[in-house]
Amino acid sequence: MMGNDLAPIVVEGRNCWRIERADKVRMIVDAADYYALLERLMADAKERILLIGWDFDPRIALKPDSQGKGEPLGDYLLRLAKNCPDRDIDILRWNFGGLKQFAMPRIVSMVLRWKITRSISFRLDSAHPVGCSHHQKVAVFDDHLAVCGGIDVGANRWDTREHKDGDPHRTAPDGKPYMPWHDSTMILAGPVGAALADLGNERWQRATKKPLRELNGKGENWPDDLDPDFEGVDVAISRTRAEYDGHPEIREIERLYLDMIAAAKRFAYFENQYFTCGKIAAAIAERLNEDDPPEFVMVMPKTADGWLEQMAMDAARVQLVRAVAKAKHGDRLKVYYPRTQDGEPIYVHAKTAIIDDRMLRVGSANMNNRSMGLDSECDVTIDTALPANHGVEPVIRRLRESLIAEHLDAGPAEVARRFDATGSLIETIEALRGAGRSLEMLDLVPPGPLDEFIADNELLDPTSPDAMFEGIAERGLKKSWHRGKTWMKRHRPFK
């Protein structure tokens, strides 16, 4: 079904902040391509480089060599500052993660070198309630060209779409190898870039109490050799922000997830790091109780990254998937994780969603409670039902086929043929799954007692800042599930 036969899912003031025109847009998959592009974008910026993120590690190489080494990002920025001292380089990262890095002498030394460089400003963002984090991953160049997505400019992120076993390029600054890593982001030019610059300026001002300086408006040009996926489309920007210091709570991202699930007709394809939000799970279950529901396919990590995350996130994911499976058509939800040729799990950090090939969404928000109401998040969405976007459905389809082909080590054309023959995303994946590099069905091992208690009570994944201080009786997965079920029954607008 074409986008012009449908009502738009994105609506300003409901599930997005602004809808702005993008002259050009390209989806970037995996950090090898993004980091190489980022190096060029920073070099070409004329007036300002603005980097906002959850993580920022000056020790990494944007173009690692065969030993995982190369010019450190921190040195590269110093070189840019020397070559063009009138260009601002402004860096804002989450304060808690930044403070942890100050225990590392190499990072402290680099920050001190930045400190005495006039054109570089490095600041930590603590403008959020206790327990929240600044999780956006946004880069803006000359207030015209922007990147928004899920890729942090941090350690252990670089990888290619081949996710080769034992790739020596995947070497952390401490010299240790790290696991294969899958991620995504979006580069956008035009008025939408200016809108993301406004968002970045607001965040900078809240964190530092000072605005960024006004620019002359020269603007950076789109790289000549970078082919866009989309041209002349409208893009929605959605946010999460906790209430803090007189600024109201924003839950556009949560509303957009629920509206996307409600609007899906054939399938919803998600690549996401977490699935621990009871409200989203319940909304999926409500759809799967219908007579002819869409399919829901999730590509996720086999386990969360870190011991605490595994206890909280993996246990909650198992419980929610098992609960959704009890729906009338629970078999139309499938959760997979990707693996390499030798069977090593590939960590999925991407936050990508595709609905019926009529909507593409890329951003920083996970499908967990934190991304719905605690952490600052930013996602961008192309909805083909918007008048300017009619006719771009084949492009979204091509991007979906490319993602699935990457995970299955297949050709996009083969993915397309299977889907055309079956009309089913699940049947397509099942037909192409096999030995070697492929997608593996997630093993829903029941959590242990401690894991279950942490997950049931959302101890590490609360639904709001206030929920962190509520008693056990007032919160939990079951209550979140009930809220999602009630919302879907009352508010589903796309029947």
**Local confidence pLDDT in tens for the 495 residues of the chain:** 444 678 999 999 999 999 999 999 999 999 999 999 999 999 999 999 999 999 999 999 999 998 889 999 999 999 999 999 999 999 999 876 656 666 678 888 988 999 899 999 999 888 888 888 889 999 999 999 999 999 999 999 999 999 999 999 999 999 999 999 999 999 999 999 999 999 999 999 999 999 999 998 776 689 999 999 999 999 999 999 999 989 999 999 999 999 999 999 999 999 999 999 989 999 999 999 999 999 999 999 998 876 556 666 788 888 899 889 999 999 999 999 999 999 999 999 999 999 999 999 999 999 999 999 999 999 999 999 999 999 999 999 999 999 999 999 999 999 999 999 999 999 999 999 999 999 999 987 665 654 555 445 554 556 666 654 454 445 566 677 767 777 777 766 555
Distances (CA, A) of 128 to 4, 242, 399, 409, 468: 40, 7, 35, 42, 14
Q: Which domain holds residue 293?
A: 236-491
Q: Quick one: 423 exposed, middle or buried, by C-beta within 10 A (0-12, 13-18, 19+)?
A: exposed
User: What phi and psi, each to the nearest 5 degrees, are found at residue 299?
Assistant: -115, 120
**Residue 4 resides in a domain:** no
Write out 29-43 in H/E/C secondary structure.
Answer: ECHHHHHHHHHHHHH
* Same domain assignment for residues 268 and 198: no
In-domain check, residue 86: yes
Total residues found in the chain within this entry: 495
Q: State the virtual CA torsion across 449, 454, 458, 462 in degrees, nearest 10.
A: -170
Same domain? 219 vs 240: no
d(CA 254, CA 287): 17
Residue 5 belongs to some domain of the structure: no
Report the distance separating Cα 41 and Cα 143, nearest Å. Answer: 12
Do residues 302 and 433 both lie within one domain?
yes
- Establish if 390 belongs to a structural domain: yes
Backbone CA torsion sign across 261, 262, 264, 266: positive
Q: Is residue 6 part of a domain?
A: no
User: Which residues touch 37 (CB under 8 Å, ≥6 apart)?
Assistant: 28, 187, 223, 226
- Indicate the helix (H) or strand (E) that contains 26: strand 18-29
Q: Is 185 found in the same domain as 274?
A: no
Per-residue pLDDT tens over the stretch 467-476: 544 544 455 6
Single residue among 231, 264, 279 that ends a domain in this structure? 231
pLDDT at 1: 43
Q: Does residue 140 sit in the same domain as residue 270?
A: no
Residue 7 inside a domain? The answer is no
Q: Whole-prediction pTM value?
A: 0.92
Residue 395 CA, chain-centre distance (Å), reads 20
Cα separation, 220 vs 264, in Å, equals 37
Structural domain tally of the chain? 2
Domain presence at residue 3: no
Q: What average pLDDT does the structure give for the chain?
A: 90
Query: What is the H or E stretch that residue 382 is in?
Result: strand 377-383
Q: Are residues 188 and 329 in the same domain?
A: no
* Token digits of residue 444: 């829903």
In angstroms, the CA 38 to CA 142 distance is 14
Q: Last residue of some domain: 231, 265, 295?
A: 231
* Residue keyed to tokens 């929240």: 132
- Report the b/e string of 74-100 with b at 16+ CB within 10 A: bebbbebbeebeebbbbbbbbbbbbee
In a domain, 351, yes or no: yes
Q: What is the CATH number of the domain that holds 289?
A: 3.30.870.10
Q: Are residues 362 and 409 in the same domain?
A: yes
Q: Residue holding tokens 């139309």?
A: 332
In this structure, the answer to whether residues 227 and 244 fall within a common structural domain is no
Co-location of 136 and 261 in the same domain: no
Q: What is the pLDDT of residue 235?
A: 98
Strands 359-363 and 377-383: antiparallel
Residues 42 and 103 placed together within one structural domain of the fold: yes
Asked if 106 and 28 sit in the same domain, the reply is: yes
CA angle (266 as vertex; 265, 271 as ends), nearest 5: 105
Domain termination residue (choose one: 231, 262, 284): 231
Q: What is the pLDDT at residue 485?
A: 73
Same domain, 180 and 312: no
